[in-house]
Chains A and B, each alone.
Chain A
Amino acid sequence: MKGKAWKFGNNIDTDLIIPARYLNTSDPDELAKYAMLDADPEWVDKMKKGDFIVAGENFGCGSSREHAPIALKAAGVSAVIAKSFARIFYRNAINIGLPIMESPEAAEEIKEGDEVEVDITSGTIKDLTTGQTYKAQPFPKFMQKIIDQGGLINYLKATLKTA
């Protein structure tokens, strides 16, 4: 996965990612139109499919709305790289199959506009603009299984089949 980095600060809450006033649908493409709206109203028009969000600490804090990772995924975000994630967002992102990577160093050093390449399986983040390589925190084994299936829905379907 290759794309451009868009930088955001600390404590990007789910109201910034998708305001509650747009939760009047569960259609991912409709939700995608409002992704990051209250953080940067022009961002959806500026970003391209495949780009990355690079943020500070506690990304996705606040509401439990799953619409937040759904909107980012549908907008075409390849992955969110952050110093840390809020608990519910972290779990929701894994459940719906939005790749997230925790790397304080990468989140600190990657600059807005840098070309970034990511290998989710190995957890490698490459800043092609600076040539720096970073390693993301590995997921617990149990979560990796859900990620490998592309989310909780597929994971449960697969588990139910083998059970």
Chain B
Amino acid sequence: MGKTIAEKILSNHSGRDAKAGDIVIADLDFMIGQDGTSGVAIDSFRKMNAKKVADPSKIAIIIDHSSPSPNEGVSAIHKKIREFTKEQGIKLYDIGCGVCHQLTPEQGHVVPGNLVIGADSHTCTYGAINVFSTGIGSTDLAAGMISGKLWFKVPETMKVVYKGKLPKGIYSKDLILNLIGKIGADGATYLALELYGEALDEMSVDARFTISNMAIECGAKVGLMAADKKVLDWVAKHSNKKPNPQTADKDATYKQVVEIDVTKLEPQIAKPHQVDNTCGVSEVAGTPIQQGLIGTCTNGRLEDFQIAAKILKGKKVNKDCRLIVAPASKDIMMEMIKDGTYQSLIESGAVAVTPGCGPCVGTHNGVPSDGENVISTANRNFLGRMGNRNAFIYLGSPATVAASVIEGKIADPRKYL
């Protein structure tokens, strides 16, 4: 019987013929932690009486969730991480380097066919480059660091096919929001996604990361895509590791197949306070907005800022509104500076913060006030997510956020294109 991409990658790493439902112990190619979760992972590592990690070259810890530190408690955690990485010879990405899910592929740590874990739920991002990568907790990360292995239940797979060419003003963010709205916040719990379609083939690898990044928002373990020429070229540019791309067999078994016609979509919005609470932008257009956020591991890449800058060019952020931009990495920030995107956004009234997660996860750098509405390119709009349980978060594409901050209310970006 044929195999899915998930079954193939888990078979290759466990040395057995793994099928959905099997529990396997598999060799890890890479693992990451961030400053929100690594403190507990280091505690667990010590409690397990471990002295040395199995292979320091397969681990990176990234300080991104509160970067630079907003308070003493976080500073103590950062210090603990710096000491641990030094002691173990582990690669540390300190404040200002960027968000873990940009850095891990961008800095060449993972390539197609790899098996990767991360103590962060959005580790599923690298599925866009054919990596089986999934979020786990701190104690699992500690176990992985010590042994170089982890146990997995081989997931069943849901196949998603995006049909047709993308209309103008519709982006990868709209495609994934639409899917999550359709199948629900637990629509793919315990499942792997395999995503296909003309719309995906035509978009850049950076745009594809947005889709895989949000696989967890419908409960999926990973959001896998095939490694086409675009992926292999992208990977060759960022890594000297050897890719081992995996494709699904024609007779692979899928739990469910979902088809989405992209040609009829309008820009999508996730309304407060759940990501699956989606609608077309027309339903909420005109809702007053006090803050916009463009950035995060979902939509903080060069292309995202270029789209926003183009819409904002020659215009200003509305006087009753603020716009925060947070590039996903230092390299992206440097590219933005080089091509004028950074200056252009600042001229329009945007406020740029350190590459990192702060505003999205509510640790600092843009906590909204009571009763305020925020429109954001992030992946979550949970109650309290941005640091205040009395604020309201709407999610949309960078284009939708750019159009909305011009008007000071939720707006359809297509009239600006």
Residues of chain A at the chain B interface (Cβ within 8 Å): 11, 13, 15-16, 19-21, 23-26, 37-39, 41, 57-58, 61-67, 70, 84, 86-88, 91-92, 95-96, 140, 142, 151-153, 156-157
Whether B56 is near chain A, meaning CB under 8 Å from some CB there, is no
Extra contacts, 11 of them, besides A16-B384, A24-B66, A64-B119 (Cβ < 8 A), are A11-B186, A16-B382, A20-B361, A20-B362, A25-B39, A26-B43, A39-B383, A41-B389, A63-B121, A66-B119, A92-B140
Q: Given A38-B389, A64-B121, A84–B43 Cβ distance below 8 Å?
A: no
Task: List residues of chain A with CB within 8 A of the CB of B385.
Answer: 15, 20
Q: Given A21-B362, A87-B190, A67–B40 Cβ distance below 8 Å?
A: yes
Minimum C-beta distance from B88 to chain A (A): 18
Minimum C-beta distance from A143 to chain B (A): 9
Q: Are A66 and B48 in contact (CB under 8 A)?
A: no
Whether B257 is near chain A, meaning CB under 8 Å from some CB there, is no
Whether B185 is near chain A, meaning CB under 8 Å from some CB there, is yes
Q: List 22 A-B contacts (CB under 8 A).
A: A15-B385, A19-B387, A20-B65, A20-B385, A24-B72, A41-B389, A58-B186, A64-B37, A64-B119, A64-B120, A64-B123, A66-B137, A84-B189, A87-B190, A87-B221, A95-B140, A96-B139, A140-B153, A152-B139, A153-B47, A156-B143, A157-B49
A23 in complex: contacting residue of B36, B72, B384, CB < 8 Å: B36
Range class of the B interface residue count:
35 or more
Q: Are A58 and B37 in contact (CB under 8 A)?
A: no
Q: Are A86 and B387 in contact (CB under 8 A)?
A: no
Whether B363 is near chain A, meaning CB under 8 Å from some CB there, is yes
CA separation between A95 and B43, bound complex, in Å? 14
- The chain B residue with its CB closest to the CB of A89 is B137
Q: Are B135 and A24 in contact (CB under 8 A)?
A: no
CA separation between A95 and B140, bound complex, in Å? 8
Q: Are A152 and B140 in contact (CB under 8 A)?
A: yes
Task: List residues of chain A with CB within 8 A of the CB of B37.
Answer: 64-66
Q: Are B382 and A15 in contact (CB under 8 A)?
A: yes
CA separation between A14 and B363, bound complex, in Å? 15
Q: Are B382 and A156 in contact (CB under 8 A)?
A: no
Q: Are A86 and B219 in contact (CB under 8 A)?
A: yes
B384 in complex: contacting residue of A11, A38, A58, A151, CB < 8 Å: A38
CA separation between A92 and B39, bound complex, in Å? 15
A64 in complex: contacting residue of B47, B136, B274, B383, CB < 8 Å: B136
CB interface residues, B 283-302, toward A, < 8 Å = none
Q: Are B36 and A61 in contact (CB under 8 A)?
A: no
Q: Are A87 and B73 in contact (CB under 8 A)?
A: no
Q: Given A38-B383, A88-B121, A142–B151 Cβ distance below 8 Å?
A: yes
Closest 6 CB pairs of A and B: A24-B73, A38-B384, A92-B137, A58-B186, A66-B137, A64-B121
Q: Given A26-B40, A63-B121, A156-B48, A140–B219 Cβ distance below 8 Å?
A: no
Q: Are A151 and B139 in contact (CB under 8 A)?
A: yes
